[in-house]
Amino acid sequence: MRPMADTYWFCLEHHRVEGEDGCRSADRLGPYATRAEAERALDKVAERNETWDNDPDWNDDDA
């Protein structure tokens, strides 16, 4: 399988955006189509976690 052109990942170990030749996949989030998207990876994770934490269909906490 050929790699996608101009793809970016966010490295969880080094906290930076990387290209195809970065760290191992287990240490990265992505791929992202743009550098800007990859730079916002941790913000996106936090936003999704907040949404899921407050979703009544997925909230198992006792009220």
Q: What is the pLDDT of residues 2-12, one digit of tens each?
A: 455 689 999 99
Q: Are 51 and 38 in contact (CB under 8 A)?
A: no
d(CA 20, CA 18): 7
3-7, 35-39, 53-57: least confident range: 3-7
Global pTM exceeds 0.95: no
**61 belongs to a structural domain:** no
**36 belongs to a structural domain:** yes
Q: Provide the pLDDT for residue 58.
A: 77
**1 belongs to a structural domain:** no
**62 belongs to a structural domain:** no
Instruction: Assess whether pLDDT exceeds 90 at residue 47.
Output: yes
> In whole numbers, what is the pLDDT of the chain averaged over residues?
89
Tell me the sheet residues that pair with 29: 10
**27 belongs to a structural domain:** yes
Domain count, the chain: 1
**2 belongs to a structural domain:** no
**14 belongs to a structural domain:** yes
- Which residues constitute the domain of residue 28? 8-53
